[in-house]
Structure 1
C-alpha cells in the first residue's frame, strides 16, 4: 500500500508539472500546423533542444571562466599587497644599512665598537668585543633579510605576471563563450519566431509530451520504490530556497535574486543553507560527492546529459526544481524527464 501511495503521489507531482497534463488535453484539439520553413514541429523541437543544450554548455564555460577570473583577480590583489609590504620593508632595511654606513664614516672608517677594541682599558675592551659581535650579527642578519626580501619581491612580481596572463586568457574564454551563447539563443529565438501562435502552443505540448514520456519510463522502472532518503537540515533549507524561486525567469549567467540559470539556482540555494558549492553544473559533478540514484534525498543535485550541462535539485516524490532554459521560468519537473548522468550531494 505504501508503494502505491508513493506512486500516486509521484504521479500527482507530474500532473502538476504538466499543468493540466498532456493527457488531460486532447491533442486532437490542435490542427496540425506546418512551420513556415516546412520542417515538422518535432524537428523544430529537436533543433531547439540542441541549440539550447549548446547554449547551456557555453553558459557553463562562461561561468567557469568568470569564477576563475574572480579567483585570479583575488590572487593579484594579495600579491600586490605583498609587493607593497615587501617594498616598504626593503626601504626600512636600506635606511638602516645607510645609517650604519654613515656611522662608520664618522668614525674614520671604523664603527664605534671597533674603536673600543683599541682601548687600553680591559673592561672597555671586553665590552667593545661583545658589542662588536652583536653588531656583526645584526648587520649580517639585516643584509640577509634585505636579500631575502628582494628575492621575495621578484617572486611576487613573477607570480603576479603569471596571474595576469591567466586572467587575460580567461577573459578571452569568457568573450568567446558569451558570443557562443548569444549566437545559440539568437538562433533558437529566430527559429521559434517563425512559428505562429498556435504552432508555439503545440510546440510547448510536444515538449511536455517528451518530458512526460521520459518521466513515465523512469518511474515505471520502479526506481522511486527504493528512494526513501530524508533531507538533512541544510538540505531542507536549500529546497525551501530553490522552490521559492519558481516562476522567476531563466537568464544565462544569472544567480539571483530576480533570475537564474540552472547552476546559479542550485549554487545559490545551497549558499543560502550555509554550504558553498561550485558555480557550474560541470564542476558540481566533478567536485561534489557522487551517490546512487536510489540513495538520493531532497536537496541532492541531479546532473543531466553526458556532458553535465544541466542540473536540477531533487525535492522528493520523483520531482526536481530547476531553471530549464532561456524563454522558460524556474519550475517543478519530473526528475527523470531528462537523461540523468548522476546524482551529487553537497552536504556530506
Structure 2
C-alpha cells in the first residue's frame, strides 16, 4: 500500500511538473481547454456553484472550530500551570506556618516571657548585648516570614482569579467549538445532499465544469503577468523541507479539522508541513494570514503560503511555476492545482 501511495504521488508530481517546465507556457492545471457547454450546463453549473458555496461556508466554520480548539488547548495548559502554582503556594504557606509555629512554641517553653525581658533581667551586660543582637535577627526573620506569607497569599488570590477567568474562557470556547462543529456538519450535509441528487454522468460533467472554470482562472492569472519578474527566488532549506512534506501527502483525503497523518484540512496541511521544517505557525488559514509576514505575489517563492478568498477561508503552499499543493475540500484529496485557479487574497511567508 505504501509503495502504491508513493507511486501515485510521484506520478501526480510528474504529471503536474510536465506542464510547468516552460515559463512561457506555465500552467498548473493539466486539464484541457474548456469544453463547449449547452443549455443543460447552466443549471448544472448553478448547482455546482451552490455546492462550492456550501463547502466554503463549511471551511469558514472549520476555521472557527480549529481556532476554538487551539485556544482551548492553550487555556487548558494555562489552567494546569495555575493549578500547580496554587498547590506550590499552599505548600509554601504551610511551611511558613510551621516555622512561625516553632517560634511560638519556643516562646511558650520560656513561660511566655519575651526573650528581651529575660535578657534584661539576667544582670549580665555582655549576655544582654549578645542576646539583643540575636533577638533583632530573630525579629527580622519573623518579619520576613510574615511578609513572605502575605505575598504568597496575595499570589494565591491572583492565581485563583486567573484560573477562574481561564475556566470562563475555556467554557466559552467549548460552546464556540460545538456551534462551529454543528455549522460544519450542516453545510457539508447540505452539499452532499445536493450532490447525491445528481446522476453519475451529471457529477462527472459538473467536475468537468469545475475544471473548466479553474483552467480559465489559471490562464487569466498567468496572462496577467503575475509571475513576471521572479523576485522571490528559490525556496529556502526550510521551504524545501515543507514542500517535501506537503507533496508527500498527495492523495490523502481532506478531513475537516484534521492535521494528519491520515488526512488534512487546508490549514492543517500547511501547518504540519512547516512544523516538519521546524517552524511553528498558527493553526487556521485566517490566523496564518493575520499573523505571518506578508509578501507581494510577484515576490513569492516556493514554500510560501497563498491565501484565498476575501475571508481567508482557504490556503495552499506555493510550489513554484504557478502551482500549489493543497487540501481542497471534503470529498477531495490533497492535490496539485493552479495557484491562480481561485481568487487570491495574498501571500504569507512562514520562513
TM-score surpassing 0.5?
yes
SS class of match (2:228): helix
Alignment correspondent of 1:91: 94
Q: CA RMSD in A?
A: 1.8
- Shift in Å, 1:99: 1.3
1:294 equivalent among 285, 292, 298: 298
Unpaired runs of at least 5, structure 2: 1-19
Contact kept, 8 Å, 2:256 with 2:330, in 1: the verdict is yes
Kept in 2: contact 1:285–1:308 (CA 8 A):
yes
Residue in structure 2 matching 1:225, options 213, 224, 228: 228
Instruction: Give the whole-Å Cα distance in 1 for the aligned partners of 2:102 and 2:143.
Output: 15
CA distance in 1 between partners of 2:206 and 2:214 (Å)? 12
Contact preservation (8 Å) 2:58, 2:188: yes
Aligned residues, how many?
A: 331
Change (3 A) 1:122 1:49: same
What is the distance in 1 between the residues matched to 2:86 and 2:36?
Answer: 70
- Which residue of 2 is the match for residue 177 of structure 1? 180
Say yes or no: does 1:251 pair with 2:266: no
What is the deviation of 1:225? 2.0
- Does residue 328 (structure 1) correspond to residue 343 (structure 2)? The answer is no
Distance 2:102 2:21 in 1: 90
Does residue 46 of the first structure (1) align with residue 49 of the second (2)?
A: yes
Residue number among 289, 298, 304 corresponding to 1:285 in the alignment: 289
Distance 2:201 2:114 in 1: 98
Pick one of 66, 71, 89 that aligns with 2:69.
Answer: 66
1:71-129, Cα deviation, whole Å (9 max, x unpaired): 00000000000000000000011111111111112212234465234321121111110
In 2, Cα distance between equivalents of 1:111 and 1:248: 80
Determine the C-alpha separation between the residues in 1 that align with 2:337 and 2:312: 18
Residue in structure 2 matched with residue 79 of structure 1 by the alignment = 82
Distance 1:40 1:234 in 2: 46
What does residue 130 of structure 1 align with? 133
Q: Provide the C-alpha distance between the structure 2 equivalents of 1:334 and 1:114, rounded to a whole number of angstroms.
A: 92
1:279-325, Cα deviation, whole Å (9 max, x unpaired): 00000000000000000000000000000000000000000000000
User: Is 2:152 the counterpart of 1:165?
Assistant: no
Query: Which residue does 2:350 correspond to in 1?
Result: 346
Q: Deviations over 1:10-51 (max 9, x none)?
A: 23x322xx3xx355xx557xx9768xxxx8111101101110
Does 2:273 align with 1:269? yes
Aligned partner of 1:5 in structure 2 is 22
Question: 1:104 touches 1:111 (CA, 8 Å); kept in 2?
Answer: yes
Which structure 1 residue ranges, 5 or more long, are not aligned?
A: none
TM-score by length of 1: 0.92
2:21·2:321 contact (CA, 8 Å) conserved in 1?
A: no
